[in-house]
Amino acid sequence: MMVPWRLIPKFGWPQGRQTCRLLAAFALSGGSAALLHVPEGYWAIITAVVVMQPDLSHTLAAGRNRVIATLIGAVAGLALIALRQLGLPAMPLFIAGLIPLAVITAIWPNLRLACTTLVVVFLIPAAGDPYGRPLLRVADILLGVLACVVVSVLVFPHEDPPAAQS
């Protein structure tokens, strides 16, 4: 079967630059999580996938949205965990908590990861303190966002290719 080459996008400086920046953000977020012994540090790496953009201003905006959405989902999760600790059933609580987050997502689509955070902190079983998971999730996301900002400033911060040496 012949591959229609016009359907394969070109890989040039902008794509190579963004690849390097993404890989650096993965390494920095994952390495930092490992050094800090974060239990589920892969969330910092996942955050790098979501947040890393071709320029600093878009990275900052994506990071802001990710942090706000995570905080909203974590606060909702903490409230639901407290109610579950009182003996209320988990699934009706989850549905009741998800409805306002779905409304928020409908109004502000950039905050859609609030729903994901709620799923992770409330529905996925965690060992130890039930209140610790939402707090750790916020820490993971902050770590990933911080890694992306550092990489945006330090790794190929400008979109123009480096000047050729003469």
Break the chain down into helix, strand, coil percent, rounded to 5.
Answer: 75, 0, 25
Angle at 79 between CA 124 and CA 116, to 5 degrees: 40
Has residue 166 got a pLDDT over 90? no
Q: pLDDT at position 127, please?
A: 80
CA gap 51, 149 in Å, rounded = 9
Mean pLDDT score across all residues of the chain = 92
With bands split at pLDDT 50, 70 and 90, how would you rate the model's confidence at 12? confident
Q: pLDDT at position 5, please?
A: 58
Residue 146's CB is within 10 A of a number of other CB atoms, namely 18
With bands split at pLDDT 50, 70 and 90, how would you rate the model's confidence at 4? low
- Of 28-42, 70-84, 132-146, 150-164, least confident by mean pLDDT is 150-164
With bands split at pLDDT 50, 70 and 90, how would you rate the model's confidence at 3? low
Q: What percent of the chain has pLDDT over 70?
A: 92
With bands split at pLDDT 50, 70 and 90, how would you rate the model's confidence at 164? low
Top-confidence residue, 145 or 160: 145
Report pTM. Answer: 0.87
Q: pLDDT at position 15, please?
A: 87
Average pLDDT over residues 43-48: 96
Q: pLDDT at position 165, please?
A: 54
Top-confidence residue, 115 or 9: 115
Note whether 77 and 134 are within 8 A (CB): yes
